[in-house]
Amino acid sequence: MATSAPAETSFLVDTQTVTFPALPLDCGVTLLNVDVAYETYGSLNADRSNAILVLHAFSGDAHAAGISRETGQPGWWSQMIGPNLAFDTNRYFVISSNVLGGCRGTTGPSSPDPSTGLPYAMRFPVITIGDMVRLQKLLIEHLGIQRLLAVAGGSMGGMQALEWAVAYPDSVAAAIPIAATSRHSAQQIAFNEVGRQAIMADPDWNEGNYYDSKPPARGLAIARMVGHITYMSDASMRQKFGRRLRDKDAFGFDFSVDFEVESYLRYRGSQFVNRFDANSYLYITKAMDYFDLAAGHSSLAAAFDSTRARFLVLSFTSDWLYPTYQSLETVSALRSRGLDVAFSELSSTYGHDAFLVETKEQSEIVAGFLASVQRDVSSSGRVPGANLPAQAIMDRADYGMIGEMIEPGARVLDLGCGGGELLAWLRDHKQVAGQGVEIDPEKVRRAIARGVSVYQSDIEQGLADYPDQSFDFAILSQTLQEMRYPLRVLREMLRVGRHAIVAFPNFGHWTTRWAHLVSGRSPKTRLFPYDWYESPNIHFLTVQDFVALCRQQNWIIERRMFVRGNRQSRWVPNLLAEVAVFSLRAK
């Protein structure tokens, strides 16, 4: 598993091409003699179960990793794909292809029309994200792969990953959409339209017929400048440029370059003109704007009705092009259909480009998630040691007791799951299907890297998407006293789970009583080692308080266990128990 930001890998790769005789498109046209440019990294295993399709963003290409033998340039995701990296080519067979409509080897508007021998230009049919994925499916079948271990990509690549999971549910074990959306907002469409208008307003565009003359370089450069602004963030631009002047000490009082940021954007625009086709810009941005995963369904959630994949959804705090709320819309839809989904919002100042730039934490999460998916796909039975008693394995005595209460093979939701230690143990030793909810971003990352599906959210806000009785057991371990509305949380637990297991520290313990009696101050003991102004505890409950609440709510206490030190205690629990563990169900 990658644990630090790796250097770009240096293996040499060749871009390959395959041609398919026909591709039916969503617009009703059938495209003939379709070329696909692609690269592969690593080796396909004997049962062809380790293939991962990596999907590029808007202006990407097939060259995702290593060093191109043709250009000498590194791939756009070389820090993520390679030996011992997130997409570990010692374990996985990774495939990357240029999208339909592109200009880097796959058929697009700059390709020759078989009927005329001339570039398609604007005679190229309008395409969709679904068309791109349909062509990728032909490529995967050509490579002899029936089911992908995962599809993964950022931005437009994430849209394709979602489309794969919906359009071909039997062909995908897992999907990893990063900094993506299930459909464009009005603002996102607006930015794309500005870029398209800049291109079409350039006199050199010539209605798209510029391939034997001068390309619309000025329009395409402006389109790229606008787009590039959306890929960055205010913080990253402030840090990188501020208001620094470019090669001068004072304003020029003209319209030449004054600021560093102006020079940077002009450079980015001019470089883009050298490697991208203006008509491809028009077609691909339109495909992105057309994308709506919910189209043809009653809701976004309904679009996932046939989906079987596990999901890892990642977003970034400073991404204002595809903000976190759009990832959460997808996560909410997945959870409402009972699908296995992990979600984390990663902290970054790089804006939308973070998925390409800041790969350390992303790598740890992706590596752990993929290892877990591969284990599920190739699982051959119980984990050695699974028959050991829970107390012999757990560090925390209450975890051991919770482990005893959980039935093998159960569906489990752990609220405030921390780094996923309990869920990982239950997965490995009781083969549970577990999910967690945790608000601490660092703990969420550790849990997902451990292969546990965790949703980053406040517990008090994070259960509404789950249907009734989604789980056999809902667990809340030593967190109840920190909830603002504990009764609301307990009711939600008993709504989404057949049983609720609640562990909490007993404020009726004799040391707490004694400390309060002797000092006359807020008790500070080994059990509660906090000053009153730093304590995470909001509510102070005892064993008797909890039993009284269960009677009041008409909940059935199925089992109760008490911890004293690291041992189970049975005597006078309200006085001697340090931690109480209750199993409940609704009447």
Residue from 97, 155, 372, 477 carrying the catalytic annotation:
155
Asked if residue 104 belongs to a domain, the reply is yes
Q: Are residues 283 and 316 in the same domain?
A: yes
pTM strictly above 0.85 = yes
Nearest alpha-carbon partner for 372 in 435, 320, 316: 435
Same domain, 487 and 550: yes
227 with 161, same domain: the answer is: yes
Answer yes or no: do 179 and 35 share one domain. Answer: yes
Mean pLDDT of 335-360: 94
**Closest CA relative to residue 545, chosen from 509, 499, 518:** 509
Q: Is there a domain that residue 7 lies in?
A: no
Indicate whether 303 and 417 sit together in one domain. no
At residue 385 the predicted structure's pLDDT band, cuts being 50, 70 and 90, is very low
Same domain? For 346 and 433 the reply is no
pLDDT tens-digit map of 112-125 = 999 999 999 999 99
Q: Are residues 278 and 164 in the same domain?
A: yes
Q: Is residue 410 part of a domain?
A: yes
Name which of 151, 183, 170 is nearest 51 in CA terms.
151
- Using the 3D structure, point to which of 371, 397, 415 is the last residue of a domain: 371
In a domain, 98, yes or no: yes
What pairing do the DSSP bridges indicate for beta strands 433-438 and 453-456? parallel
> Mapping DSSP to helix (H, G, I), strand (E, B) and coil, where does residue 250 land?
coil
Q: Is 319 a catalytic residue?
A: yes
Using one digit for the tens of pLDDT, what is the confidence trace for 526-566? 878 888 888 888 999 999 999 999 999 999 999 999 988 77
Domain boundary among 351, 371, 391: 371
Asked if pLDDT for residue 394 goes beyond 70, the answer is no
Instruction: Indicate if 393 and 412 belong to the same structural domain.
Output: yes
pLDDT higher than threshold 50 for residue 190: yes
Give me the catalytic one of 258, 319, 340, 353: 319
Report pLDDT for 210: 97
Look up the CATH number of the domain holding residue 564: 3.40.50.150
The active-site residue out of 352, 429, 499, 509 is 352
Residues 319 and 407 in one domain: no
- The domain of 403 spans 381-586
Question: Residue 320: phi, psi to the nearest 5?
Answer: -100, -5
pLDDT higher than 50, residue 390:
no
Residue 226 shares a structural domain with residue 281:
yes
Q: Is residue 5 part of a domain?
A: no
Residue 341 included in any domain: yes
All residues at 6 or more sequence positions from 535 whose CB lies less than 8 Å from its CB, including other chains: 522, 528
352 is catalytic: yes
Has residue 458 got a pLDDT over 60?
A: yes
Residues 318 and 404 both lie in one domain? no
Q: For residue 507, what are its two tokens? A: 């404020």
Q: b or e along 401-410 (b: 16 or more beta carbons within 10 Å of the residue's beta carbon)? A: bbbbbbeeeb
**pLDDT at position 163 over 70:** yes
Range 462-478 average pLDDT:
93
Per-residue pLDDT at 383: 37
Q: Would you place residue 393 in the very low, low, confident or very high pLDDT band (cuts 50, 70, 90)?
A: very low
In a domain, 313, yes or no: yes
**Does 78 participate in catalysis according to the annotation?**
no
Of 371, 391, 406, the residue that ends a domain is 371
Q: How many separate domains does the chain show?
A: 2
- In this structure, are 17 and 104 located in the same domain? yes
Residue 222's domain is classified under what CATH number?
A: 3.40.50.1820
Q: Let me know if residue 4 belongs to a domain.
A: no
Long-range contacts: 561-565, Cβ < 8 Å, 24+? 561/401, 561/404, 562/506, 563/397, 563/398, 563/401, 565/397
